[in-house]
Structure 1
Amino acid sequence: MIAVTSMEADAPSSAEISKAFAEGRADSLAQAYQRWSNLVFTLALRALGNRADAEDVTQQVFVSAWRGRANFDPDSGQLGAWLTGITRHRIADRMTARSRELRNSEAAARLAEQRPTTVLDDLTIDRVLIADELEQIDDPRRTILKLAFYEDRTHPQIAEQLDLPLGTVKSHIRRGLLHLRDRLKEVTGDETSR
């Protein structure tokens, strides 16, 4: 016979955690994390083969689950199964991002092979100027612009990821682009770039 510790006896059941999670009780998020984070992390690590990516996916899964808890119905399934479904989506998102990063790296390598390294064309200079000016912008605007233009995120995806209203994201992007345009005019002295 296996002795049950008092902590195990006091731990809520999966069904109790699922019900509390659906009701939006804050302590249920910690309980869900304690119960299923190892499963989520293991699935992500096996699929991605990278500990840092698996940790990021695990965090994203629980943040997404909490934000989308209104879509979870404990009567139609277990919270662990629902979290597993979210995990599969986040793993797919990460693999897509990896593919995009690989394509970008390969394209950059091909360009580097095609061009002499000592020649800087206008496009390269513009990219360096934009990257430098982007670093001068305060957050969250800088982060929003990077997500939009370096990671190809849509406005709704950025709003969800940063937990900001969609209108705020759009406003930051517009103002950030206007700021960059004005700064580039000052730096390059070009009055025609409108």
Structure 2
Amino acid sequence: MSPQHGTARPSPAAESLTDEEVARGLVAGDEGCLAAAYQRWSALVHALARRSLGDVKEAEDVTQQVFLGVWRGRRGFCPERGTMGGWIVGITRRRIADALSARTRRLHVVAAAGASLAPADPGARSPEAVLDRVLVLHELARLPAPQQRVLRLTYYEDLTQTQIARRTGWPLGTVKSHARRGLHQLRRRLADDEQSDHYT
């Protein structure tokens, strides 16, 4: 059993192990000991995450990340430094801190995007409009630099492709190619994001 494949029940033998024996088995790569560790400490991990984050879904995500981290980092556990439970709580605190930092970054990005929207645009400050703009800006930033430049000049400075060719010094055919490829990439990625939302 590994975390990405779901949580299996520990074997009766693993259930009867001491915490120290579970730790030794886990470090050795025994998946039954990972299942035993999950059974013993997942409720604590979830409770800590839920109390800190105030969100059940985020707490579930953190719990999964913690035990994925336990499995991947199992060789880093040193019994001389403390108990397995204490080690897992330490991982939990780091994952909670990561989740809080990610939440803060998202809020800052949304606030910045909202501040940059034109006030005259009807409905521009609705949460949906702000998030749409954030998503487009995020995907635009992932494009190769020439495609980014062409699309930014097109949509943010309202330049024609001929004007872009003059400003950049690129042949008109090159500008058209960057625009076409950039738009294709944006549409595909935004469609992928929208499709993935249906499964989350």
Q: CA RMSD in A?
A: 3.5
Alpha-carbon distance in structure 2 between the residues aligned to 1:50 and 1:179: 38
Within the candidate set 110, 113, 132, 2:115 is matched to 110
After superposition, the C-alpha distances for 1:134-185 in whole angstroms (9 at most, x for unaligned) are 6xxxxxxxxxx9xxx6xxxxxxxxxxxxxxxxxxxxxxxxxx7459939x78
Structure 2: distance between partners of 1:15 and 1:9: 12
* Identity across the alignment (%): 39
Give 5+ residue unaligned stretches, structure 2. Answer: 1-11, 125-131, 155-160, 165-173, 180-200
1:50 CA drift (Å): 0.5
Whole-Å separation in 2 of the counterparts to 1:94 and 1:34: 23
Q: Is the 8 A contact 2:49 2:59 kept in 1?
A: yes
* Structure 1 pair 60–10 and aligned structure 2 pair: CA distance change class (3 A): closer
Q: Which runs of 5+ in 1 are unaligned?
A: 1-6, 121-126, 135-144, 150-175
Structure 1 position 25, deviation (Å)? 1.2
TM-score (norm 1): 0.58
1:42 to 44, 47, 63: 47
Alignment partner of 1:15 is 2:28: no
Distance in 2 between the 1:180 and 1:14 partners?
56
* CA–CA distance in structure 2, aligned partners of residues 35 and 49 of structure 1: 22
Cα distance 1:75–1:23, how it changes in 2: closer, same or farther (>3 A)?
A: farther
Query: How far apart, in 2, do the equivalents of 1:180 and 1:13 lie?
Result: 59
Match of 1:62 in 2: 67
Q: Matched residues in 2 for 1:88 and 1:61: separation?
A: 9
| Cα contact 2:14–2:22 (8 A) shared by 1 | no
Offset of 1:10 from its aligned partner?
5.5
Aligned to 1:181: 147
Matched residue type, 2:64:
Q
Is the CA contact (8 Å cut-off) linking 1:41 and 1:54 kept in structure 2?
Answer: yes
**For the Cα contact (< 8 Å) 2:22–2:37, is it kept in 1?**
yes
Q: 1:22-101 counterparts in 2 under 5 A?
A: 22-101=27-106
Output the CA distance in 2 between the equivalents of 1:77 and 1:14: 12
Distance 1:26 1:45, change over 3 A: same
Q: Counterparts of 1:73 and 1:12 in 2: how far apart (Å)?
A: 18
What CA distance in whole angstroms lies between the structure 1 residues aligned with 2:14 and 2:66?
Answer: 28
User: Aligned partner of 1:51: which letter?
Assistant: V
User: In the TM superposition, what is the alpha-carbon distance from 1:115 to its structure 2 partner?
Assistant: 3.5
Rg larger in 1 or in 2? Answer: 2
Matches of 2:116 and 2:143, distance apart in 1: 27
In 2, Cα distance between the equivalents of 1:179 and 1:66? 38
Aligned length: 136
**Change over 3 Å in CA distance of 1:95–1:73 after alignment to 2:** same
Partner secondary structure for residue 12 of structure 1: coil
| Alpha-carbon distance in structure 1 between the residues aligned to 2:54 and 2:146 | 38
SS of the residue corresponding to residue 97 of structure 1 reads helix
Pick closer, same or farther for the CA change 1:180–1:59 going to 2, 3 Å: farther
